């Protein structure tokens, strides 16, 4: 199988189910941003971090691929029973969201209470978490906009919202694990 098909040379791309849309379509932007997020999570996973965090990040990467497939499936194709069976696309569900919540709760047990907003930085691994968090929030905003145009599975929105929280807490955990002081945001008054 060749990597190039030439079918997108005219500025369109195919969705699951066969329909074609412009490459700037909001649905494409939504799952393209999820793909970008997945790449950043791969970058975090490639850092010198614990095996258990790497395992969690690999699970999240797989979930994001599933989430992207859900976004690449037009709502009308997803709701048609014959189409769904033919496409055989897995789904993000409440168990996927619960996994993130459990991971967040577990990491927070060993973290000091937050007293200030925290600025990104302090260590490359921590900064990668913050970049991924920002991409996750952008992905969430795009999916909310897509949902306003055509209803998408609500678990997608919940998952992305929870994932950005996970990435923030992971940044805090890595700061602690790497003995890096969190950079507190302390507003300075104008003189």
Give the domain ranges of the chain.
15-183
For 61-65, 76-80, 132-136, 166-170, which range has the lowest pLDDT when averaged over its residues?
Answer: 76-80
Longest distance between any two alpha carbons in the chain, whole Å? 68
Nearest to 123 by CA among 175, 162, 173: 175
- Split at pLDDT 50, 70, 90, the class of 2 is confident
Q: What is the pLDDT of residue 169?
A: 97
Q: Are strands 183-184 and 20-22 parallel, antiparallel or unpaired?
A: unpaired
Residue 92 per-residue DSSP state: -
Which fold does the domain 15-183 belong to in CATH? Hypothetical Protein Ta1238; Chain: A; (1.20.1200)
Nearest to 160 by CA among 174, 149, 146: 146
Looking at per-residue pLDDT, the higher value among 22 and 113 belongs to: 113
118 three-class SS:
strand
Q: What is the pLDDT of residue 165?
A: 98
> pTM for the whole thing?
0.88
- Split at pLDDT 50, 70, 90, the class of 78 is low
Ranges of beta strands (E only) in 4-45 are: 12-14, 20-22
């Amino acid at each position: 199988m060749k990597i190039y098909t030439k079918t997108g040379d005219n500025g369109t791309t195919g969705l699951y189910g066969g329909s074609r849309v412009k490459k700037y379509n909001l649905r494409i932007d939504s799952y393209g941003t999820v793909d970008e997020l997945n790449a950043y999570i791969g970058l975090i996973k490639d850092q010198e971090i614990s095996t258990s965090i790497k395992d969690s990040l690999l699970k999240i990467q797989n979930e994001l691929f599933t989430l992207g497939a859900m976004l690449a499936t037009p709502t009308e194709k997803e709701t048609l029973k014959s189409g769904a069976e033919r496409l055989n696309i897995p789904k993000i569900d409440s168990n996927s969201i619960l996994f993130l919540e459990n991971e967040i709760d577990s990491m927070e047990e060993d973290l000091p209470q937050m007293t200030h907003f925290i600025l990104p930085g302090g260590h490359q691994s921590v900064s990668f978490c913050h970049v991924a968090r920002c991409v996750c929030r952008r992905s969430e905003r795009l999916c909310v906009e897509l949902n306003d145009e055509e209803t998408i599975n609500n678990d997608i929105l919940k998952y992305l919202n929870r994932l950005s929280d996970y990435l923030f807490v992971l940044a805090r955990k890595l700061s602690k694990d790497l003995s890096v002081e969190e950079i507190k945001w302390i507003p300075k008054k104008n003189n």
